A = this chain, B = another copy of it.
Amino acid sequence: MKKTQDLVSLAQEAAKARSQLALLSSEVKNRVLFNMAEALLKNKATIIKGNKQDLKNAKSRHLGSAFIDRLVLTDKRIQQMANSLREIAQLPDPVGEVVKAWRRPNGLWIHKVRVPIGVVAIIYESRPNVTADCIGLCLKSGNSVILKGGSESLNSNISIYNTLLECMKKEGIPDGAVRLVTTKDRSAIDTLLKLRQFIDVVIPRGGEGLINHVLKVSQIPVIKHYKGICHIYVDEFADLNMAQKVCFNAKVQRPGVCNAMETMLVHKDVAIRFLPGMAKEFQAAGVELRGCPLTCRIVKSCRPATEKDFFTEYLDLKLSVRVVENLNEAIEHINYYGSHHSDAIITDSYENALEFVRQVDSACVYVNASTRFTDGHQFGLGAEIGISTDKLHCRGPMGLEELTTYKYMVFGSGQVRV
Protein backbone atom coordinates (compact mmCIF):
# COMPACT_ATOMS: atom_id res chain seq x y z
CA MET A 1 0.00 0.00 0.00
CA LYS A 2 2.74 2.42 1.04
CA LYS A 3 4.60 2.01 -2.25
CA THR A 4 1.53 2.74 -4.35
CA GLN A 5 0.82 5.81 -2.27
CA ASP A 6 4.31 7.14 -2.88
CA LEU A 7 4.00 6.82 -6.63
CA VAL A 8 0.66 8.58 -6.58
CA SER A 9 2.19 11.52 -4.68
CA LEU A 10 5.15 11.55 -7.01
CA ALA A 11 2.89 11.73 -10.07
CA GLN A 12 0.76 14.35 -8.36
CA GLU A 13 3.83 16.50 -7.72
CA ALA A 14 4.83 16.15 -11.36
CA ALA A 15 1.36 17.21 -12.46
CA LYS A 16 1.44 20.15 -10.09
CA ALA A 17 4.78 21.35 -11.44
CA ARG A 18 3.72 21.37 -15.07
CA SER A 19 1.96 24.73 -15.12
CA GLN A 20 5.05 26.44 -13.69
CA LEU A 21 7.31 24.59 -16.14
CA ALA A 22 5.16 25.54 -19.09
CA LEU A 23 5.71 29.21 -18.30
CA LEU A 24 9.50 29.12 -17.79
CA SER A 25 11.39 31.49 -20.06
CA SER A 26 13.90 30.09 -22.54
CA GLU A 27 16.55 32.10 -20.73
CA VAL A 28 16.00 30.30 -17.42
CA LYS A 29 15.76 26.89 -19.05
CA ASN A 30 18.97 27.39 -20.98
CA ARG A 31 20.83 28.68 -17.95
CA VAL A 32 19.78 25.60 -15.98
CA LEU A 33 20.88 23.33 -18.83
CA PHE A 34 24.36 24.89 -18.95
CA ASN A 35 24.60 24.65 -15.16
CA MET A 36 23.59 21.01 -15.33
CA ALA A 37 26.42 20.33 -17.78
CA GLU A 38 28.88 21.98 -15.38
CA ALA A 39 27.51 20.08 -12.41
CA LEU A 40 27.83 16.70 -14.14
CA LEU A 41 31.52 17.37 -14.73
CA LYS A 42 32.02 18.67 -11.19
CA ASN A 43 30.29 15.63 -9.66
CA LYS A 44 32.07 13.15 -11.89
CA ALA A 45 33.61 11.33 -8.95
CA THR A 46 30.28 10.81 -7.18
CA ILE A 47 28.60 9.67 -10.38
CA ILE A 48 31.36 7.20 -11.17
CA LYS A 49 31.14 5.92 -7.59
CA GLY A 50 27.43 5.18 -8.02
CA ASN A 51 28.16 3.57 -11.36
CA LYS A 52 30.85 1.35 -9.80
CA GLN A 53 28.23 0.00 -7.38
CA ASP A 54 25.95 -0.86 -10.34
CA LEU A 55 28.84 -2.52 -12.17
CA LYS A 56 29.68 -4.59 -9.09
CA ASN A 57 26.06 -5.76 -8.83
CA ALA A 58 25.91 -6.49 -12.55
CA LYS A 59 29.09 -8.59 -12.41
CA SER A 60 27.89 -10.53 -9.41
CA ARG A 61 24.68 -11.22 -11.34
CA HIS A 62 26.77 -12.38 -14.31
CA LEU A 63 25.17 -9.94 -16.77
CA GLY A 64 26.80 -10.12 -20.21
CA SER A 65 29.75 -8.02 -21.38
CA ALA A 66 27.60 -6.10 -23.91
CA PHE A 67 25.32 -5.17 -21.05
CA ILE A 68 28.20 -4.07 -18.87
CA ASP A 69 29.68 -2.08 -21.73
CA ARG A 70 26.46 -0.09 -22.02
CA LEU A 71 26.26 0.42 -18.27
CA VAL A 72 29.77 1.66 -17.60
CA LEU A 73 30.34 5.40 -17.16
CA THR A 74 33.74 6.87 -17.99
CA ASP A 75 35.12 10.40 -17.96
CA LYS A 76 34.45 10.53 -21.68
CA ARG A 77 30.86 9.38 -21.35
CA ILE A 78 30.13 11.95 -18.65
CA GLN A 79 31.67 14.59 -20.89
CA GLN A 80 29.31 13.44 -23.66
CA MET A 81 26.31 13.76 -21.34
CA ALA A 82 27.38 17.30 -20.49
CA ASN A 83 27.82 18.14 -24.17
CA SER A 84 24.39 16.79 -24.93
CA LEU A 85 22.82 19.09 -22.31
CA ARG A 86 24.67 22.09 -23.74
CA GLU A 87 23.47 21.17 -27.18
CA ILE A 88 19.87 21.04 -25.95
CA ALA A 89 20.36 24.52 -24.46
CA GLN A 90 21.41 25.77 -27.87
CA LEU A 91 18.40 24.38 -29.73
CA PRO A 92 15.47 26.75 -30.30
CA ASP A 93 12.73 26.65 -27.66
CA PRO A 94 9.70 24.90 -29.17
CA VAL A 95 7.26 26.27 -26.58
CA GLY A 96 5.21 29.21 -27.79
CA GLU A 97 5.99 28.74 -31.45
CA VAL A 98 3.01 29.78 -33.56
CA VAL A 99 2.65 26.83 -35.91
CA LYS A 100 -0.03 28.54 -37.95
CA ALA A 101 -2.28 31.56 -37.56
CA TRP A 102 -5.15 32.81 -39.64
CA ARG A 103 -8.11 35.17 -39.54
CA ARG A 104 -11.66 34.04 -40.10
CA PRO A 105 -14.17 36.10 -42.09
CA ASN A 106 -15.92 37.04 -38.82
CA GLY A 107 -12.68 38.53 -37.50
CA LEU A 108 -11.71 35.67 -35.16
CA TRP A 109 -7.95 35.42 -35.14
CA ILE A 110 -6.92 31.78 -34.61
CA HIS A 111 -3.40 30.85 -33.46
CA LYS A 112 -2.21 27.27 -33.32
CA VAL A 113 0.54 27.45 -30.71
CA ARG A 114 3.02 24.85 -29.49
CA VAL A 115 2.70 24.01 -25.78
CA PRO A 116 4.27 21.33 -23.57
CA ILE A 117 2.47 18.00 -23.35
CA GLY A 118 2.45 18.12 -19.54
CA VAL A 119 3.81 15.11 -17.67
CA VAL A 120 5.96 12.63 -19.59
CA ALA A 121 6.81 9.26 -18.06
CA ILE A 122 9.80 7.43 -19.51
CA ILE A 123 10.33 3.76 -18.83
CA TYR A 124 13.71 2.62 -20.06
CA GLU A 125 16.17 -0.18 -19.82
CA SER A 126 18.94 1.69 -21.49
CA ARG A 127 22.22 3.32 -20.61
CA PRO A 128 22.48 5.83 -17.76
CA ASN A 129 23.03 8.72 -20.18
CA VAL A 130 19.35 8.40 -21.12
CA THR A 131 18.57 9.83 -17.67
CA ALA A 132 20.42 13.07 -18.41
CA ASP A 133 19.13 13.33 -21.99
CA CYS A 134 15.51 12.88 -20.93
CA ILE A 135 15.77 15.41 -18.12
CA GLY A 136 17.35 17.93 -20.49
CA LEU A 137 14.85 17.42 -23.30
CA CYS A 138 11.82 17.52 -21.00
CA LEU A 139 13.03 20.66 -19.23
CA LYS A 140 13.63 22.46 -22.52
CA SER A 141 10.23 21.40 -23.88
CA GLY A 142 8.56 22.49 -20.61
CA ASN A 143 7.40 19.05 -19.50
CA SER A 144 7.54 17.43 -16.09
CA VAL A 145 9.23 14.07 -16.36
CA ILE A 146 8.92 10.86 -14.37
CA LEU A 147 11.84 8.51 -14.93
CA LYS A 148 11.76 4.79 -14.33
CA GLY A 149 15.07 3.32 -15.37
CA GLY A 150 16.28 -0.25 -15.17
CA SER A 151 17.10 -1.44 -11.68
CA GLU A 152 20.57 -2.47 -12.93
CA SER A 153 21.54 1.20 -13.35
CA LEU A 154 19.72 2.55 -10.33
CA ASN A 155 22.76 3.92 -8.47
CA SER A 156 24.11 5.61 -11.60
CA ASN A 157 20.68 7.09 -12.28
CA ILE A 158 20.30 8.35 -8.71
CA SER A 159 23.63 10.17 -8.79
CA ILE A 160 22.91 11.77 -12.18
CA TYR A 161 19.41 12.68 -11.08
CA ASN A 162 20.53 14.29 -7.82
CA THR A 163 23.16 16.32 -9.62
CA LEU A 164 20.68 17.70 -12.15
CA LEU A 165 17.85 18.20 -9.67
CA GLU A 166 20.11 20.43 -7.59
CA CYS A 167 20.58 22.77 -10.58
CA MET A 168 16.84 23.05 -11.10
CA LYS A 169 16.23 23.78 -7.44
CA LYS A 170 18.74 26.61 -7.52
CA GLU A 171 16.53 28.37 -10.08
CA GLY A 172 13.41 27.77 -8.03
CA ILE A 173 12.01 25.12 -10.35
CA PRO A 174 9.79 22.83 -8.25
CA ASP A 175 11.02 19.32 -7.42
CA GLY A 176 8.02 17.83 -9.17
CA ALA A 177 9.52 18.85 -12.51
CA VAL A 178 11.70 15.76 -12.48
CA ARG A 179 10.98 12.67 -10.45
CA LEU A 180 12.95 9.45 -10.38
CA VAL A 181 11.21 6.22 -9.41
CA THR A 182 13.73 4.43 -7.22
CA THR A 183 11.77 1.36 -6.20
CA LYS A 184 13.14 -1.74 -7.84
CA ASP A 185 9.74 -3.36 -7.72
CA ARG A 186 8.51 -3.99 -11.27
CA SER A 187 4.91 -3.50 -10.14
CA ALA A 188 5.78 0.19 -9.82
CA ILE A 189 5.45 0.38 -13.60
CA ASP A 190 1.91 -0.97 -13.46
CA THR A 191 0.96 1.56 -10.83
CA LEU A 192 2.33 4.43 -12.91
CA LEU A 193 0.55 3.23 -16.04
CA LYS A 194 -2.84 3.70 -14.42
CA LEU A 195 -2.31 7.27 -13.17
CA ARG A 196 -3.91 8.89 -16.19
CA GLN A 197 -5.21 11.82 -14.21
CA PHE A 198 -1.59 12.93 -13.66
CA ILE A 199 0.50 11.55 -16.52
CA ASP A 200 -0.07 12.63 -20.13
CA VAL A 201 2.13 10.25 -22.08
CA VAL A 202 4.29 7.19 -21.48
CA ILE A 203 7.39 6.53 -23.56
CA PRO A 204 8.70 2.99 -23.19
CA ARG A 205 12.19 2.37 -24.53
CA GLY A 206 13.38 -1.18 -24.35
CA GLY A 207 12.84 -4.76 -25.39
CA GLU A 208 9.76 -6.43 -26.78
CA GLY A 209 8.70 -7.75 -23.35
CA LEU A 210 8.69 -4.31 -21.77
CA ILE A 211 6.81 -2.69 -24.66
CA ASN A 212 4.14 -5.39 -24.80
CA HIS A 213 3.65 -5.19 -21.08
CA VAL A 214 3.25 -1.40 -21.19
CA LEU A 215 0.73 -1.65 -24.05
CA LYS A 216 -1.38 -4.15 -22.16
CA VAL A 217 -1.43 -2.34 -18.83
CA SER A 218 -1.33 1.35 -19.73
CA GLN A 219 -4.39 3.55 -19.52
CA ILE A 220 -2.18 6.46 -20.56
CA PRO A 221 -1.33 7.17 -24.22
CA VAL A 222 1.87 5.34 -25.19
CA ILE A 223 4.46 6.33 -27.79
CA LYS A 224 6.37 3.18 -28.53
CA HIS A 225 10.09 3.19 -29.16
CA TYR A 226 10.20 -0.27 -30.52
CA LYS A 227 12.69 -2.36 -32.38
CA GLY A 228 14.17 -1.52 -35.75
CA ILE A 229 14.05 -4.32 -38.28
CA CYS A 230 15.45 -2.21 -41.10
CA HIS A 231 15.80 -3.39 -44.70
CA ILE A 232 17.78 -2.40 -47.71
CA TYR A 233 16.43 -3.59 -51.04
CA VAL A 234 18.96 -3.79 -53.85
CA ASP A 235 16.85 -3.24 -56.94
CA GLU A 236 17.48 -4.70 -60.40
CA PHE A 237 18.39 -1.15 -61.50
CA ALA A 238 20.79 -0.53 -58.60
CA ASP A 239 24.28 0.88 -58.97
CA LEU A 240 25.83 -2.24 -57.42
CA ASN A 241 28.92 -0.40 -56.34
CA MET A 242 26.81 2.08 -54.38
CA ALA A 243 24.65 -0.78 -53.06
CA GLN A 244 27.69 -2.52 -51.65
CA LYS A 245 28.92 0.62 -49.86
CA VAL A 246 25.52 1.54 -48.44
CA CYS A 247 24.67 -2.00 -47.30
CA PHE A 248 28.04 -2.39 -45.66
CA ASN A 249 27.62 0.90 -43.83
CA ALA A 250 24.08 0.09 -42.70
CA LYS A 251 25.13 -3.26 -41.23
CA VAL A 252 28.65 -2.76 -39.97
CA GLN A 253 29.21 0.88 -38.98
CA ARG A 254 27.29 0.39 -35.71
CA PRO A 255 25.38 -2.89 -35.59
CA GLY A 256 23.93 -2.46 -32.07
CA VAL A 257 21.50 0.35 -32.87
CA CYS A 258 17.92 0.38 -34.07
CA ASN A 259 18.61 1.96 -37.48
CA ALA A 260 21.16 -0.67 -38.52
CA MET A 261 20.15 -2.99 -41.38
CA GLU A 262 18.89 -6.42 -40.26
CA THR A 263 17.71 -7.78 -43.61
CA MET A 264 19.08 -7.27 -47.11
CA LEU A 265 16.74 -7.97 -50.05
CA VAL A 266 18.21 -8.46 -53.51
CA HIS A 267 16.44 -8.54 -56.87
CA LYS A 268 16.88 -11.94 -58.53
CA ASP A 269 18.39 -10.43 -61.72
CA VAL A 270 21.34 -8.90 -59.88
CA ALA A 271 21.77 -11.53 -57.15
CA ILE A 272 24.50 -13.50 -58.91
CA ARG A 273 26.51 -10.40 -59.74
CA PHE A 274 25.97 -8.70 -56.36
CA LEU A 275 25.90 -11.32 -53.63
CA PRO A 276 29.32 -13.03 -53.86
CA GLY A 277 31.35 -9.81 -53.55
CA MET A 278 29.03 -8.35 -50.91
CA ALA A 279 29.12 -11.59 -48.89
CA LYS A 280 32.89 -11.62 -49.01
CA GLU A 281 33.07 -8.08 -47.68
CA PHE A 282 30.55 -8.83 -44.93
CA GLN A 283 32.31 -12.01 -43.90
CA ALA A 284 35.64 -10.22 -43.75
CA ALA A 285 34.01 -7.81 -41.28
CA GLY A 286 32.76 -10.74 -39.19
CA VAL A 287 29.11 -10.56 -40.29
CA GLU A 288 27.26 -13.86 -40.10
CA LEU A 289 24.86 -14.31 -43.04
CA ARG A 290 21.54 -16.16 -42.92
CA GLY A 291 20.03 -16.54 -46.36
CA CYS A 292 17.01 -17.79 -48.28
CA PRO A 293 17.60 -20.98 -50.32
CA LEU A 294 18.67 -19.02 -53.40
CA THR A 295 21.11 -16.91 -51.38
CA CYS A 296 22.59 -20.08 -49.90
CA ARG A 297 23.08 -21.49 -53.38
CA ILE A 298 24.95 -18.37 -54.50
CA VAL A 299 26.91 -17.90 -51.27
CA LYS A 300 28.02 -21.38 -50.22
CA SER A 301 29.16 -20.34 -46.75
CA CYS A 302 25.76 -18.80 -45.89
CA ARG A 303 23.63 -20.66 -43.36
CA PRO A 304 19.89 -20.98 -44.07
CA ALA A 305 17.56 -18.34 -42.63
CA THR A 306 14.42 -19.39 -40.79
CA GLU A 307 11.21 -17.40 -40.98
CA LYS A 308 11.95 -16.21 -37.44
CA ASP A 309 15.23 -14.67 -38.60
CA PHE A 310 13.32 -12.29 -40.84
CA PHE A 311 11.37 -11.07 -37.80
CA THR A 312 14.55 -10.65 -35.73
CA GLU A 313 16.36 -7.49 -34.71
CA TYR A 314 19.87 -8.89 -34.29
CA LEU A 315 21.56 -5.71 -33.01
CA ASP A 316 24.67 -7.64 -33.85
CA LEU A 317 26.96 -8.64 -36.73
CA LYS A 318 24.30 -10.90 -38.22
CA LEU A 319 22.27 -10.33 -41.38
CA SER A 320 19.27 -11.99 -43.01
CA VAL A 321 19.44 -12.08 -46.81
CA ARG A 322 16.67 -12.85 -49.28
CA VAL A 323 16.51 -12.85 -53.05
CA VAL A 324 13.16 -11.47 -54.29
CA GLU A 325 11.29 -11.75 -57.59
CA ASN A 326 10.61 -8.05 -58.00
CA LEU A 327 10.00 -4.68 -56.35
CA ASN A 328 6.55 -5.70 -55.15
CA GLU A 329 7.84 -8.75 -53.35
CA ALA A 330 10.42 -6.54 -51.65
CA ILE A 331 7.79 -4.04 -50.54
CA GLU A 332 5.52 -6.81 -49.28
CA HIS A 333 8.38 -8.40 -47.36
CA ILE A 334 9.25 -5.09 -45.70
CA ASN A 335 5.67 -4.22 -44.74
CA TYR A 336 5.12 -7.73 -43.37
CA TYR A 337 8.37 -8.58 -41.56
CA GLY A 338 9.59 -5.06 -40.78
CA SER A 339 8.97 -2.86 -37.77
CA HIS A 340 8.05 0.27 -39.78
CA HIS A 341 11.22 2.03 -38.68
CA SER A 342 13.64 2.70 -41.58
CA ASP A 343 13.95 1.01 -44.96
CA ALA A 344 15.88 1.81 -48.11
CA ILE A 345 15.95 1.02 -51.80
CA ILE A 346 19.07 1.24 -53.93
CA THR A 347 18.03 1.94 -57.49
CA ASP A 348 18.59 4.15 -60.49
CA SER A 349 14.99 3.68 -61.62
CA TYR A 350 12.93 6.79 -61.01
CA GLU A 351 9.72 4.77 -61.12
CA ASN A 352 10.88 2.12 -58.67
CA ALA A 353 12.22 4.76 -56.28
CA LEU A 354 8.85 6.50 -56.17
CA GLU A 355 6.93 3.24 -55.85
CA PHE A 356 9.12 2.24 -52.95
CA VAL A 357 8.79 5.47 -50.97
CA ARG A 358 5.05 5.58 -51.58
CA GLN A 359 4.30 1.99 -50.65
CA VAL A 360 6.67 1.16 -47.83
CA ASP A 361 4.80 1.93 -44.62
CA SER A 362 7.71 3.04 -42.43
CA ALA A 363 8.63 6.13 -40.47
CA CYS A 364 11.63 6.75 -42.75
CA VAL A 365 12.00 5.49 -46.29
CA TYR A 366 15.25 6.06 -48.16
CA VAL A 367 16.41 6.03 -51.74
CA ASN A 368 20.12 5.44 -52.25
CA ALA A 369 21.19 6.13 -48.68
CA SER A 370 21.99 4.18 -45.53
CA THR A 371 19.23 3.57 -42.96
CA ARG A 372 21.73 4.72 -40.34
CA PHE A 373 20.67 8.34 -40.97
CA THR A 374 17.43 7.94 -38.99
CA ASP A 375 18.51 10.07 -36.07
CA GLY A 376 17.56 13.50 -34.79
CA HIS A 377 21.04 14.92 -35.32
CA GLN A 378 21.44 13.44 -38.78
CA PHE A 379 18.05 14.84 -39.77
CA GLY A 380 19.10 18.23 -38.44
CA LEU A 381 16.40 18.18 -35.75
CA GLY A 382 18.78 18.09 -32.78
CA ALA A 383 18.82 15.81 -29.75
CA GLU A 384 16.13 13.18 -29.50
CA ILE A 385 14.46 11.10 -26.84
CA GLY A 386 14.38 8.19 -29.28
CA ILE A 387 12.84 6.98 -32.53
CA SER A 388 9.09 6.51 -32.45
CA THR A 389 7.84 3.42 -34.23
CA ASP A 390 4.27 4.53 -33.61
CA LYS A 391 2.07 6.28 -36.13
CA LEU A 392 0.23 8.65 -33.86
CA HIS A 393 1.56 11.96 -32.56
CA CYS A 394 5.03 11.44 -34.01
CA ARG A 395 6.99 9.04 -36.18
CA GLY A 396 10.73 8.64 -36.44
CA PRO A 397 13.11 10.89 -34.49
CA MET A 398 11.33 12.30 -31.40
CA GLY A 399 12.97 15.53 -30.32
CA LEU A 400 11.91 18.78 -28.69
CA GLU A 401 9.11 19.55 -31.15
CA GLU A 402 7.66 16.08 -30.76
CA LEU A 403 7.63 16.57 -26.97
CA THR A 404 5.07 19.32 -27.45
CA THR A 405 1.43 19.45 -28.43
CA TYR A 406 -0.55 22.53 -29.46
CA LYS A 407 -3.47 24.59 -28.39
CA TYR A 408 -5.62 27.01 -30.30
CA MET A 409 -5.61 30.56 -28.97
CA VAL A 410 -8.51 32.47 -30.48
CA PHE A 411 -8.69 36.25 -30.22
CA GLY A 412 -12.06 37.83 -30.82
CA SER A 413 -13.99 41.04 -30.29
CA GLY A 414 -17.31 39.75 -29.04
CA GLN A 415 -18.13 37.21 -31.78
CA VAL A 416 -21.13 34.95 -31.14
CA ARG A 417 -22.21 31.97 -33.18
CA VAL A 418 -25.24 32.38 -35.36
- Give A contacts to B, CB under 8 Å: 19, 22-23, 102, 104, 108, 110, 115, 117-118, 196, 200-201, 215-216, 219, 221-223, 239, 242, 245-246, 248-250, 253-254, 335, 353, 357-359, 361-370, 372-374, 378-380, 390-393, 395-396, 405-418
Taken together, the copies of this chain in the complex come to 2
Which of chain B's residues have a CB closer than 8 A to the CB of A22?
Answer: 358, 361
Asked if A405 and B391 sit within 8 Å, CB to CB, the answer is yes
A370-B416, A414-B239 given; A409·B365 CB < 8 A: yes
A215-B196, A245-B416, A415-B373 given; A361·B19 CB < 8 A: yes
Asked if B117 and A392 sit within 8 Å, CB to CB, the answer is yes
Known: A19-B361, A246-B414. 19 other contacts (CB 8 A): A19-B335, A22-B358, A104-B380, A108-B369, A108-B378, A196-B215, A239-B414, A249-B416, A250-B416, A361-B407, A364-B410, A367-B412, A369-B411, A370-B416, A370-B417, A373-B410, A378-B417, A392-B405, A396-B407
- What are the nearest 8 A-B pairs in CB distance? A369-B412, A249-B416, A372-B417, A242-B414, A392-B393, A357-B409, A369-B415, A364-B408
CA distance A239 to B391 in the complex (A): 46
- A sample of 27 inter-chain contacts (CB < 8 A) reads A22-B361, A104-B378, A104-B379, A104-B380, A108-B369, A108-B378, A115-B361, A118-B361, A196-B215, A221-B390, A221-B392, A245-B414, A249-B416, A253-B418, A361-B407, A362-B407, A363-B407, A364-B410, A365-B410, A368-B411, A368-B412, A368-B413, A369-B413, A369-B414, A369-B415, A370-B415, A372-B416
CA distance A133 to B254 in the complex (A): 48
Asked if B407 and A364 sit within 8 Å, CB to CB, the answer is yes
Q: Which residue of B lies closest to A107 (CB)?
A: B369
Asked if A395 and B391 sit within 8 Å, CB to CB, the answer is no
Which of chain B's residues have a CB closer than 8 A to the CB of A395?
Answer: 405-408
Asked if B411 and A367 sit within 8 Å, CB to CB, the answer is yes
A382 to chain B, nearest CB (A): 13
CA distance A223 to B189 in the complex (A): 23
Asked if B391 and A118 sit within 8 Å, CB to CB, the answer is yes
Which of chain B's residues have a CB closer than 8 A to the CB of A370?
Answer: 415-417
Max chain B CB contacts within 10 Å: which of A118, A200, A410?
A410
Asked if B408 and A379 sit within 8 Å, CB to CB, the answer is yes
Max chain B CB contacts within 10 Å: which of A104, A118, A408?
A408
A264 to chain B, nearest CB (A): 15
Q: Which residue of B lies closest to A335 (CB)?
A: B19
CA distance A216 to B194 in the complex (A): 9
A23-B359, A215-B196, A359-B19 given; A417·B249 CB < 8 A: yes
A352 to chain B, nearest CB (A): 13
Max chain B CB contacts within 10 Å: which of A215, A363, A396, A415?
A415
A230 to chain B, nearest CB (A): 13
CA distance A242 to B418 in the complex (A): 15
CA distance A67 to B412 in the complex (A): 34
